[in-house]
Amino acid sequence: MNKLTTAFQKNRSYLTALFLSIVTALILGAILMLITGYNPLAGYAAMLKGVFGNSRVFGNTLAKMLTLCLTGLAMAVCSKAGMFNVGGEGQLFLGGLAATMVGVCLEGISPIIAVPLAFLSAAAVGGFYAWIPAMLKVKLNVSEVITTIMLNSVAIYLCTYLTNSGGPLLTDDRGVLGGTEAVPDPFMFSQLIPRSNLSTAIIYSAAIAFICWYVMKKTTMGLEMKITGENSRFAFFSGLKKDKIMVLAMVASGAICGLVGMFEVYGYQQRFMDSISNEFYYDGMLVAMIMNYNPLGIIIMSFFFAVVDIGAGAMELSIGISGELSDIIFAIIIFLMAAEGGITKFLNERKARKEAQK
């Protein structure tokens, strides 16, 4: 507890800024609702009701939080080592599809064998898809930002082709609707809250989050990643295997994204559809950026994001305000936080100037 207080004091100005940014963003969101002719109080009330109204929606919120938390950590893991994986969306699609196909093909086999194999395949495929841009970056110095964005589109179009009419992985039992065969019931994670999206994936997610935190904060690997991310020339100079560290961080990031894809399917969707993710990874990225890639911060902030995101969806259904309001609020928080750094510096300089004039 004592440690927590010191951590709080150390980051006091950051946390204050964060709090003020969130409040301001919510106010700006309210103003936007007013301008477009809605009652913001009714909007936010609908939002809260959509999150805390009953155990089912709250379960959905927690499930959403898991997704955001894991994608946020995936972003944090690679950016700590100086790599920007913008391609989590594609890794999520391919990982989800791979895990689904493993499940479908292994029907009848004991879950004790099949489910771990699904884990393995999701992580391997997601990791491999991140390995490509990582190698291009490390060996040829091709910007991973652009290549991962391009690979997103490639993966999504490919999955769309494979699982829709004319595609080889399309199921026969859904008529015109796309999607693969269903994962056999025994392989599915058990639900924690009936009829909600919350499953035992939460346990696996907690384990992944713990590992991320431990590696980043407590191990030689974490230290080496940090040094590589901050100054890769210094890392090379100091004898670190910086290329290996960067590739590894990127592959880990991709593997996590692959697992997120699997959790979506094995948690509740049960079959792979091209609607598996609605830019989940981008939201996770925003969470990670706002929290400065701090693992603990990401876990906390993803709850807030989940509330706004699920709440906004409910708001759209109940009173017709577009759910995209959540994206607007998230972006505003980032702008304000980014501005905060500059504003603080500006204020400090002015203060120094005033002091000198005294």
Partner 1 sequence: MQESIVKFEHVSMQFPGVLANDDVSFDIKKGEVFALVGENGAGKSTLMNILYGINKPTGGNVYIKGKKVEKYSPSDAISQGVGMVHQHFMLVPSFTVAQNIVMSKEPKKMGIFYDLKAADKITENLVKEYGLEVDGKATVAEISVGLQQRVEILKTLYRGADVLILDEPTAVLTPQETEELFQVIRRIVKEKEMTVIIITHKLYEVMAISDRVGVMRQGRLIGVEETKNVNERILASMMVGREVLFDNIEKTGTPGDVQIKADNLYVADNRGLMAVNGVSLEVRAGEVLGIAAIEGNGQSELLEALTGMRPVARGEFFIQGEKSNGKTPGQIRELGLAHIPEDRMSTGVSLQSTITENLIIGKQKESAFSKYKTHLKQSSIARYAEELFEKFDMRGSGVETRVGDLSGGNMQKVVVAREFSFDTPTLIIAQPTRGVDIGAMEFIHKQIIAKRNEGCAILLASADLDEVFRLSDRIITLYEGKITGEFKAGEIDKMGISYYMTGDRSGGNGGQEGGAENE
Partner 2 sequence: MEQLAQVFNIGLLQNTLRTATPVILAAMGGLLTEQAGIMNIGMDGMILMGAFVAVAFSYACASASMGVLMAVLIGILVGIFFAIFVVKLKSDEFIIGMALNTFAGGLTVYLLRSIFGVKGTFSDAGIVSLPTVHLDFLDGIPVLGPLLNDNSIFVYITWVLVFLTWLFLYRTPYGFWLRAAGEHPESLETAGISAQKMKLIASIMCGVFCGFAGAHLSLGYLTMFSEGMSNSRGFIAFACVIFGMANPPKVFLAALLFGFLQALGLRLQNVGVPADITSIIPYLATILMLVYVVVAGDRKKKNKAKKELKNIN
**CB of residue 345 to partner 1, shortest distance in Å:** 8
Judge residue 92's burial from the number of C-beta atoms within 10 Å of its C-beta, 0-12 exposed, 13-18 middle, 19 or more buried: buried
- 346 touching partner 1, by CB under 8 A: no
Q: Which residues pair with 199 in a beta bridge?
A: 191
Binding-site member from 11, 200, 231, 318 for partner 1 (CB under 8 A): 231
x/- binding map, residues 139-168, to partner 2, per CB under 8 A? -xxxx-xxx-xxxxxx--xx-xx--x-xx-
Per CB under 8 A, which region of 126-134, 193-201, 238-246, 333-341 contacts partner 1? Answer: 238-246
Judge residue 260's burial from the number of C-beta atoms within 10 Å of its C-beta, 0-12 exposed, 13-18 middle, 19 or more buried: buried
DSSP state string for 308-319? HHHHHHHHHHHH
Residue 170 contact among partner 1, partner 2, none, beta carbon within 5 to 8 Å by kind:
none
Distant-in-sequence, close-in-space partners of 102: CB < 8 Å, separation ≥ 6: 114, 117, 118, 121
Binding-site member from 19, 54, 234, 341 for partner 1 (CB under 8 A): 234
Binding-site member from 172, 173, 185, 355 for partner 1 (CB under 8 A): 355
DSSP state string for 246-286? HHHHHHHHHHHHHHHHHHHIIIII-S--TTS-SSHHHHHHH
Per CB under 8 A, which region of 53-61, 134-142, 228-236, 330-338 contacts partner 1? Answer: 228-236
Using DSSP's 3-state secondary structure scheme, residue 141 falls into coil
When the beta carbons of 246 and 260 are compared against partner 1, the nearer one is 246
- 327 touching partner 2, by CB under 8 A: yes
Residue 171 corresponds to which tokens in the numbers above? 């199921």
x/- binding map, residues 177-216, to partner 1, per CB under 8 A? ----------------------------------------
- 86 touching partner 2, by CB under 8 A: yes
- For residues 82 and 144, the answer to whether their CB atoms sit within 8 Å is no
- 36 touching partner 1, by CB under 8 A: no
Residue 241 contact among partner 1, partner 2, none, beta carbon within 5 to 8 Å by kind:
partner 1
x/- binding map, residues 246-265, to partner 1, per CB under 8 A? --------------------
Terminal C-alpha separation, the chain = 42
Spatial separation of the C-alpha atoms in residues 277 and 295, rounded to whole Å: 23
- 230 touching partner 1, by CB under 8 A: yes
Place of tokens 């994608």: 71
Cα 34 to chain centroid distance, Å, stands at 30
Amino acid symbol at 131:
W
Binding-site member from 145, 240, 319, 328 for partner 1 (CB under 8 A): 240
- For residues 50 and 310, the answer to whether their CB atoms sit within 8 Å is yes
x/- binding map, residues 38-67, to partner 2, per CB under 8 A? x-----------------------------
Per CB under 8 A, which region of 46-54, 99-107, 188-196, 218-226 contacts partner 1? Answer: 218-226
When the beta carbons of 48 and 146 are compared against partner 2, the nearer one is 146
Q: Between the CA atoms of 147, 69, 45 and 16, what dihedral angle is there, to the nearest 10 degrees?
A: -90
The runs of H, that is alpha helices, within 88-169 are 88-105, 111-140, 144-162
Residue 168 corresponds to which tokens in the numbers above? 């080889």
Instruction: Please report, as ranges, the residues that interact with partner 2 according to CB under 8 A.
Output: 32, 36-38, 84, 86, 136, 140-143, 145-147, 149-154, 157-158, 160-161, 164, 166-167, 282, 285-286, 289, 320-322, 324-328, 330-332, 334-335, 338-339, 341-343, 345-346
Instruction: Please report, as ranges, the residues that interact with partner 1 according to CB under 8 A.
Output: 218-224, 226-227, 230-231, 233-241, 348-349, 352-353, 355-357
